[in-house]
Structure 1
Amino acid sequence: MKLLVIIVPFLIAVFLGRIIIPFILFVSYKKRLFDPVDPRKFHQKIIPRLGGVSFAPVQSCLFIISVIVLYKVNFVPLGIDTSEVFPMFMLLLCGLFILFLVGLADDLVGVHYQWKFIAQIIVACLFPLSGLWINDMYGILFITYLPPWIGMPLTIFAVVLIINAVNLIDGIDGLCSGLIMVGCSFLGILFIHYEAWLHALFAFITAGVLSSFFYYNVFGASKRKRRIFMGDTGSLTLGLSIAFLSISFAMNNQAIKPFSEGAIVTAFSTLIVPVFDVTRVLFVRWRDGQPLFKADRNHLHHKFLRTGMSHHMAMISILALALFFCVFNFVAVQYISNNVVVLCDILLWIGFIFVWNAVENRKRKARSRKLEVIK
């Protein structure tokens, strides 16, 4: 019976996304609101980029309505006093509204990156203000409790990093929405296990609305005017959503869920791929003397495509990689210390990148030899 509390809103979110996205497509073609075509992007046809407009309104409205209904029927989602949890969700919805407006303005008329960055910091500050912040490292680097003067700035930094990592990973069809769907589903199941019903509800509402967008983004045909991108409106709000869920799971707070030894490692395992990838890209730009925030074609999906993979195959491979880290960390923290698991994550990532660079170089040399033979 409790699972219906999650399943019904999830299905409603899928249904609402299925209704709203065709309407967005209609308006986009009517008003010619398309993603600009340039040499750095893969698509060479006009495609709307306002799919993310459907995310935050469905997330916010459906979550609020679901909570009201739950309390009307005397179902207390957490089974305890939720007065400490509700402010977290209320300020989350405020943050979603702010990033929704900033992203929409950027998709329609363009917003300078500095202003987007300021908006991200403001939204990140809402987390500590609501009482949500990283207060325990669970033994990582042999640190446990974090005082507010360390945990709160760390939380702000983590939220801004996650938002930008999610925004930058949005490079090929289905990748960003697929990664967030994997993350929300994984964390949603864990929240259900710990009976944190409000967080599970938000996680699966997000996954539901994304599933409808995923269909149009990956399988929609451009010629039939059925394909759409999420734009910054979507990637910014999704980044905030997954940051909220991850930090909520990582926080040592009985009002959210019972204590679990590997919470912080498990929570952020959903973000290893986008966060490690943006860290690698920034390091490469710094090493090569390039501007840190200058767009290039050095992200993980670019590396996959350069080996000859199709867009769909690259997307599926990266989603499989993200799922591997989720499952590996979830199992590993049951048997070994958090420090060892984090070290394994770093070594696995470095090893994977090293091997893939070798594959990429071999493919490039093979193409060069083939061109020389043709000449």
Structure 2
Amino acid sequence: MEIIMTSLIALLLAKITIPAWKMFALKINLVDKPNARKKHQGEIPVVGGIAVFTAGLLSISLSLAGTWNHVLSNPMIVGATILLILGAIDDRIEIKATIKLMIQVLVAGLIVWQGTIIESLHGLFGIHDLPGWVASLLTVLVIVGTINAFNLIDGIDGLAGGLFIIVLMSFGALALWLEIPSLAIPFFAFGSALIAFLRQNLSKEKIFLGDGGSLSLGFIIVSGGIQLFNASNSVDVVSDSFSERLVLGLLLLPVLDSFRVYFERIMIGNSPFKADRRHIHHLFVNLGLTHRKSTLLIIMTSVSMIGILVGSAYFHSLTSGLILSMVFFLIIIKIVLLGNHVLQWTSQIKRMEKA
């Protein structure tokens, strides 16, 4: 009952406050402007993340009878708050990438210092328990990498919001199953607040999540996901590796897409961090699909990858299941790239015929 009330409060708070945040953004010029990579029309307020985070935070505090000290002493919330502020400032006045990376590493270090580390890989690539320093280093890399992967996937209407909702709600359900209500409450709260954002994001009076939203929510899911990953062996589950597979599967598509794009940029001699239109959402939009159709297809791809990884628990090891899911992703990318090439060839032939 407590989780249901917290979720409803978060949803209502986000719905009520979004118009005010939108007016505030327009007043201080906290907007996203179209450019060569961004094809939206007009200036769009980028306060979705602020609205979602504040609504989620207030609902969590109310569910805990207003015990703000307990909420604000949670390292996951503290780290997410720092990244929300960082992202909001970056949305308003662009911050150097090196500075953003340093702050992300420091926030990841904070969560490691508080004791949230990847203790074991549960047999992934034949690796189980990790030495302390390896676990700490790997945790920082995973946190920073995942945060940025979800930030980069935020490129078309509905995609980041839709993926975040799926991950947060799934993590919330898993946390309940693993009997960790302290994690379930924030997952459901932020996930519910995102529903109000998604409705606005897909409307004519749209707002964007912004870097503040994608960075802070990305941090919440990866730091919370690590705790779920570690807790998976502490209770009886249907399959020994179900929880690990679900956690990995829910984070897989954005992370794989980021690695793919970094690799492609390096292969053509560019910096891996030089922005372009190589991400999966760009490829789908280049096929002539609308943002909504592209979002739906990408989410279906992500759900399929999760299904492959989780469903293979009875037939394959965690490593084999992960590889199968990765192969499926690469096949989808190849098909979409082929479609892009066919459209380019068709366009060139038409231009030649007109000439």
TM-score interval (norm. to shorter): over 0.9
Shift in Å, 1:301? 0.6
Within 1, Cα distance between the matches of 2:113 and 2:71?
9
The answer as to 2:340 corresponding to 1:357 is no
Deviations 1:331-358 (A, max 9, x none): 2224431121011112212222222222
Q: How many angstroms apart in 2 are the aligned matches of 1:319 and 1:35?
A: 24
Residue identity opposite 1:236 in structure 2: L
SS in 1 for 2:164: helix
The aligned residue for residue 49 of structure 2 is 52
Q: Where do 1:189-338 residues align within 5 Å? A: 189-219=173-203, 221=204, 226-252=205-231, 260-338=240-318
Which structure 1 residue ranges, 5 or more long, are not aligned? 72-85
The 8 Å contact of residues 17 and 213 in structure 1, kept in 2 or not, is answered as: yes
2:79 & 2:236 partners in 1: Cα distance? 26
Q: Secondary structure at the match of 1:251?
A: helix
Q: Please give the TM-score of this superposition, normalised by the length of structure 2.
A: 0.93
Give 2:9's aligned amino acid: I
Q: How does 1:1-375 map to 2 (within 5 A)?
A: 4-68=1-65, 90-219=74-203, 221=204, 226-252=205-231, 260-375=240-355
Gaps in structure 2 of 5+ consecutive residues: none
In 1, Cα distance between equivalents of 2:163 and 2:144: 18
Distance in 2 separating the partners of 1:177 and 1:129? 30
> Residue type matched to 1:198 in 2?
S
Cα distance in 2 for partners of 1:353, 1:64 equals 42
Read off the aligned partner of 1:158 and give its amino acid letter. Answer: V
Equivalents in 1 of 2:140, 2:284: separation in Å? 32
| Between 329-338 and 242-251, the greater mean CA deviation after superposition | 329-338
Contact 1:91 1:130 in 2 (8 A): yes
CA shift at 1:171, angstroms? 0.6
Deviation at 1:118, TM superposition (A): 0.8
Identity within the alignment, %: 28
State the Cα distance separating 1:103 from its structure 2 match.
1.2
Deviates more, 1:261-270 or 1:208-217: 261-270
Give the CA deviation at 1:253. 7.1
User: C-alpha displacement at 1:318, in angstroms?
Assistant: 0.8
The residue type paired with residue 278 of structure 2 is: N
Measured after TM superposition, the shift of residue 306 of structure 1 is 1.1
Q: Which moved more, 1:59-68 or 1:166-175?
A: 59-68
1:289 alignment partner AA: G
1:333 alignment partner, SS class: helix
Deviation at 1:44, TM superposition (A): 3.0
1:16-63 Cα deviation digits (max 9, x unpaired): 110111101122233443212222211131211122111332333322
Q: Deviations over 1:218-249 (max 9, x none)?
A: 12x1xxxx211111111110110111222111
TM-score (norm 1): 0.88
Describe the SS at the equivalent of 2:275.
Answer: coil
Shift of residue 197, structure 1, vs aligned partner: 1.5
- Say what the alpha-carbon RMSD is for the aligned residues: 2.1
Change (3 A) 1:334 1:62: farther
Query: Counterpart amino acid of 1:174?
Result: G
Query: CA offset at residue 11 of structure 1?
Result: 1.1
Distance 1:59 1:254, change over 3 A: farther
Give, in whole Å, the separation in 2 of the partners of 1:104 and 1:32: 12
Task: Report if the CA contact (8 A) 1:262-1:338 is conserved.
Answer: no
Q: Deviations over 1:130-154 (max 9, x none)?
A: 2111111111111111121111110
CA offsets 1:84-119 (integer angstroms, 9 cap, x no match): xx8997111110121122112112222111111111
State the secondary structure of the residue aligned to 2:31. Answer: coil
| 1:12 to partner: Cα distance | 1.0
In the TM superposition, residue 300 of structure 1 has moved relative to its aligned partner by: 0.4
AA partner of residue 230 (structure 1):
L
